[in-house]
Chain A
Amino acid sequence: MKLNAANEPIKGIRGKKLSANSKKTTLVRMKEHWELYLVILLPVVYIIVFWYIPMYGAQIAFRDYMVTKGIMGSPWVGLEHFETFFKSFQFARLIKNTLGISLYSIIVGFPAPIILAIAINEAKNRRFKKTVQMVTYAPYFISTVVMVSMLLQLLSPQTGLINNFIKFFGQEPVNFMGKPEFFKSLYVWSGVWQYTGYSAVIYLAALSGIDPTLHEAAIVDGATKLQKIRHIDIPGIMPTIIVLLILTVGHVMNIGFEKIYLMQNNLNMSTSDVISTYVYRIGLIGSQFSFSTAVGLFNSVVNCILLVSVNKLAKKAGGSSLW
């Protein structure tokens, strides 16, 4: 949806509304609107400096970067850093964790807002509806740091709420954050808690855009509510679902650094170390600039390929696509 919004008007405009201006040559039009170029100069400079120069700088992945020699002065080493990464014992673990956490998040986190949106849409009591929406939306505003510390507090083996319940029933307290096997679930379900309400808003918007006469016709035909959801609501929001799914799958390797990094500790590292935290650790803390850039670059390229191919697939399947 995001990229669709970006691209559609571009295609549409050329064909349509040039009639008024088409008598003038391009150069005349550019001259007439020279102020527009002045206006956009600063953003363009910003994008080039802070987004394209780092892309150019990513070539240090193929060099042995030395601070004293700069990017251009450092010697070429070809694919050496990539080979080191593919052969390292970390590689399998990082890919497994990155993909594992990501797929788990998609499987649980993707349908959750759709279900919530449909449920809210079905509730007819205005006040209740508003309350549910407002309350479920609120955790979105909690910062990552606070979110993770809430998790730590609630799960603390000594004084945490969850362990108070466990102790209340006479069981031994569990150190959730210290056990690798809990990490993925904690990450994913706390994410569901925090973001489902926010993500549901988009689907609610799509649901409110469904033609009400369809529902009226279904009532005349004697459809139950469940049938109406299955045959009207879900098909109605399908384009939105597909576009969001493409975007989600396209970012499968890009799981957020911030939350995972805060949730990591020495005990759960075996399941919590992912590519982004690894790049940060060896790159910025360990100062292996070239090697970690190579790891990051590998990640970006895989993501880019995924996004493009998922989009192509969706297009072929005849549904919506981003471009």
Chain B
Amino acid sequence: MDKKVIANSDKAFVMCNYIFLSIVLMVVLYPLIYIVSSSFSSTSAVVSGKVWFLPVEPSLMGYNAIFKHPHIWIGYKNSLIYMVLGTSINIIMTILAAYPLSRKEFVGKNAIMALFVFTMLFNGGLIPTYLLVNNLGLTNTIWAMVIPNAMAVWYVIIARTYFQTTIPDELYEAAVIDGCRDIKFIVSIVVPLSAPIIAVLSLFYAVGHWNSYFAALIYIKSEKLYPLQIILRNILIQNEIDPNMLVDVRTLLRQQGMKDLLKYSLIVVASLPVLIIYPFVQKYFVKGIMVGALKG
């Protein structure tokens, strides 16, 4: 083919590619911008559809109403507790499972690995699991939120792969000569050397805890224990809005506007913690997926 023709078709391709990616960028960004802008607008602007891109008649009414709502703050607190406690349990369990499986001297690891992996293919289902958790007396306690999902097999596999590839056998042999046994080796060598993977897995687990609502939906009955996501569901999706939050608004039309405004603000407030840390941890998330994809 003629060099010039190639150069031209490549130029066209590069152009099209940039246009395509720009469109993708806008499609992803626009709804997010719209929601943030709406949350900072006034009720009348929201209800009459004046908001298109930037906030109209800027106000903080939605946020003020949220601050008056005690349930939201209880939910925030509960979610934070579940996230910290749950992630700690997850990380400990994952290391305890992954380290022995990464050691080739460990007799029986194939059997144990098979035992673990089989749960990824098949499980007992919702009802038997629920009955078990219920029989153990965990329902409606904080433990129902952190024990039934104490460990994810998929992350155990990632951690094991990491240990296998980054911790050389020589290190263990040297430690044995110095009189170090397995448990001491984990605590003083494996954990410090695995900081990157522990960070990645903590983030994955933590985001999972923060965003999950299913465990709470089936196991938690008492309002005091509701995580944020359940409270969000009640307000945002089931429209259970505390009338106290609408006291300042008199006419019906403005009440509708206030409800919408409240929802926009709540969407922003609820996503804030994760979206704030996101740019800082993004590279770790990407790394985490890469580690997982390593063998593929």
Report A's interface with B, CB cutoff 8 A. Answer: 1-10, 13, 17, 21, 26, 29-30, 32-33, 35-40, 42-44, 46-58, 60, 71, 116, 119-120, 122-124, 128, 131-132, 134-139, 141-146, 148-150, 152-154, 156, 158-159, 161, 164, 167, 193, 197, 201-202, 205-206, 222-226, 239-240, 243, 257-258, 262, 276, 279-280, 283-284, 289, 292-293, 296-297, 299-301, 304, 307
Pick from B31, B113, B229: contact of A6, CB under 8 Å: B113
> Is the pair A5, B295 in contact by a Cβ cutoff of 8 Å?
yes
Indicate which residue in B9, B108, B211, B278 contacts A144 across the interface (CB closer than 8 Å): B211
Chain B 1-42 per-residue mask, 1 if CB under 8 angstroms from chain A, else 0: 101001001100110011011001101110110110000000
Q: Find out whether the CB atom of B275 lies under 8 angstroms from the CB atom of A141.
A: yes
Docked-complex contact B125 and A297, CB < 8 angstroms: yes
Contacts of A40 in B (CB 8 A): 96-97, 100-101, 112
Which one of B17, B49, B126, B132 lies within 8 Å of A167 (CB-CB)? B49
Residues of B within 8 A of A120 (CB): 21
> Which residues of chain A are near B34, meaning CB under 8 Å?
154, 161
Q: Whole-angstrom distance between the alpha carbons of A115 and B154 in the complex?
A: 26
Q: Of A7, A35, A135, which is within 8 A of B183 by CB? A: A35
B201 interface contact, C-beta 8 A: no
State how many angstroms separate the Cβ of A172 from the closest Cβ of chain B. 15
Q: In the complex, A207→B27 CA distance in Å?
A: 24
A residues within 8 A CB of B126?
A: 276, 279-280, 283-284, 292, 296
Contact (A292, B232) CB under 8 Å given A40-B100, A136-B28, A159-B49: no
**Size of chain B's interface in residues, with CB distance under 8 A?**
106
Residues of A within 8 A of B104 (CB): 13, 17
Chain A residues near B167: list those with CB within 8 A. none
Q: Which of B70-115 contact A (CB under 8 A)?
A: 93, 96-97, 99-101, 103-110, 112-113, 115
Q: How far is the CA of A153 from the CA of B266 in the complex (A)?
A: 12
A39 in contact with B260 (CB, 8 Å): no
In the complex the two chains form, what is the Cα distance from A123 to B24 in whole Å? 13
Report whether A136 and B123 are in contact in the complex, using a CB–CB cutoff of 8 Å.
Answer: no
Which chain B residues lie closer than 8 Å to A52 at the CB level? 115, 119
Smallest distance from the beta carbon of B188 to chain A beta carbons, Å? 14
Distance, CA A144 to CA B267, complexed state (A): 11
B18 close to A138 (CB less than 8 A):
no
Q: How far is the CB of B204 from chain A (nearest CB, A)?
A: 11
B282 within 8 A of A: yes
30 A-B residue pairs with Cβ-Cβ distance under 8 Å, sorted by A, are: A2-B157, A5-B158, A5-B294, A9-B164, A26-B107, A35-B183, A40-B101, A40-B112, A51-B123, A52-B115, A54-B123, A54-B129, A58-B128, A122-B14, A124-B14, A132-B25, A137-B282, A141-B275, A143-B229, A150-B267, A153-B260, A159-B260, A161-B31, A206-B293, A225-B10, A225-B13, A226-B13, A280-B218, A293-B127, A300-B122
A interface: dominant SS? helix
Q: With contacts A33-B103, A40-B96 known, what are 7 further pairs, Cβ within 8 A?
A: A13-B104, A142-B211, A145-B233, A159-B257, A239-B296, A262-B237, A279-B127
A150 CB contacts on chain B under 8 angstroms: 31, 35, 267
Q: Which of B59-67, B241-249, B284-292 contacts A (4 or more CB under 8 A)?
A: B284-292
Q: Which residues of chain B are within 8 angstroms of A17 by Cβ–Cβ distance?
A: 104
Smallest distance from the beta carbon of B184 to chain A beta carbons, Å? 9
Asked if residues A43 and B96 are in contact (CB atoms below 8 Å), the reply is yes
Query: In the complex, A283 Cα to B131 Cα: how many Å?
Result: 11
| A57:B128 contact, CB within 8 angstroms | yes
Instruction: Give the nearest-CB partner of B267 in chain A.
Output: A146
A258-B105 CB under 8 A given contacts A39-B100, A39-B182, A40-B97: no
A118, chain B: closest CB distance, angstroms: 9
**B157 touching A55, Cβ below 8 Å:** no
Instruction: Give the docked Cα–Cα distance between A227 and B157 (Å).
Output: 37
Residue with the greatest number of chain B CB neighbours at <10 A, chosen from A36, A38, A120:
A36
Q: Return chain B residues, CB-CB under 8 Å to A122.
A: 13-14, 17
